[in-house]
């Protein structure tokens, strides 16, 4: 919670200087970069699977298991940031 609050304070100060349009642009660029990570449920993972020719259907569907695990990890990290943002908004 302490590191996130520092980042959120800096982000709020930057938003006050730059404006909403710059914030939306930076946020969209960060989401696009995250989407290129080589995780199976993201576009980077789909590209990696297409390049390697792996399907993941055999041996218990390892790609399905990896997708479920990475989705759980993704939602946990997104949830922690949602809590940090809510705390930041309530504290200020």
CA distance 68 to 71: 5
pLDDT above 90 covers a percentage of the chain that reads 2
What pLDDT does 81 receive?
81
DSSP 91: H
Specify the higher pLDDT residue, 38 or 64: 38
Half-sphere exposure at residue 43, Cβ-oriented, CA atoms within 13 angstroms: 6
Task: Give residue 84's domain range.
Answer: 2-91
pTM comes to: 0.52
Confidence tier at 29 by pLDDT (50, 70, 90): very high
* Helical packing angle, 2-18 and 62-91, nearest 10°: 70
Instruction: Return the pLDDT at 58.
Output: 61
Residue (of 26, 24, 55, 50) closest to 38 by Cα position = 50
Q: Per the structure, how many domains does the chain have? A: 1
């Amino acid at each position: 919670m302490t590191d996130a609050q520092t980042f959120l304070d800096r982000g709020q100060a930057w938003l006050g200087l730059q404006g909403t349009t710059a914030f939306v642009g930076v946020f969209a660029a960060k989401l696009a970069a995250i989407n290129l990570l080589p995780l199976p449920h993201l576009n980077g993972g789909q590209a990696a699977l297409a390049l390697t020719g792996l399907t993941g259907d055999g041996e218990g569907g390892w790609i399905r298991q990896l997708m479920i695990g990475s989705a759980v990890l993704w939602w946990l990290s997104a949830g922690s940031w949602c809590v940090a943002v809510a705390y930041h908004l309530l504290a200020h």
